[in-house]
Amino acid sequence: EVQLVESGGGLVQPGGSLRLSCAASGFIFSSSWMTWVRQAPGKGLAWVANIKQDGSEKYYVDSVKGRFTISRDNAKDSLYLQMNSLRAEDTAVYYCARDRSGTDWGQGTLVTVSS
């Protein structure tokens, strides 16, 4: 059974940083693209970033370029999202998802950016 478990969310002040993690199991992590998607409170889904199997390619939505960094550790079956210079509009539940097409999703972790 595929499992994706996100962690690392919390309350942070504007301008602060957080690092999200996603622990994967039940599939060959090193063979899968991985994706981060977010959902602001009461809003729809928004793609944030994805990363190729070996980490050689990374793509971001324009609104997070230069502030967020996606990475992975295939030895630990883990995906990460380093979020710097956080803004109020980054407040959302952040989901990790398997593949570029969202085959499986985690339960999400809530990031709240507020003073």
Partner 1 sequence: DVVMTQSPLSLPVTLGQPASISCRSSQSLAYSDGNTYLNWFQQRPGQSPRRLIYKVSNRDSGVPDRFSGSGSGTDFTLKISRVEAEDVGVYYCMQGTHWPPFTFGQGTRLEIK
Binding site for partner 1 (CB under 8 A): 35, 37, 44-47, 50, 59-62, 95, 100-108
Q: Nearest approach, Cβ of 84 to partner 1 (angstroms)? A: 20
Query: What DSSP state is assigned to residue 66?
Result: T
Rg (CA), the chain: 13
Q: Which residue has the tokens 């980054």?
A: 90
| Distance (Å, whole) CA 35 – CA 111 | 17
Nearer of residues 27 and 59 to partner 1, judged by Cβ:
59
Q: Nearest approach, Cβ of 1 to partner 1 (angstroms)? A: 12
Phi, psi (degrees; rounded to nearest 5) at 101: -100, 5
Nearer of residues 16 and 59 to partner 1, judged by Cβ:
59
Q: Nearest approach, Cβ of 37 to partner 1 (angstroms)? A: 8
Nearest to 37 by CA among 112, 100, 84, 86: 100
Q: Nearest approach, Cβ of 98 to partner 1 (angstroms)? A: 10
Nearer of residues 7 and 13 to partner 1, judged by Cβ:
7
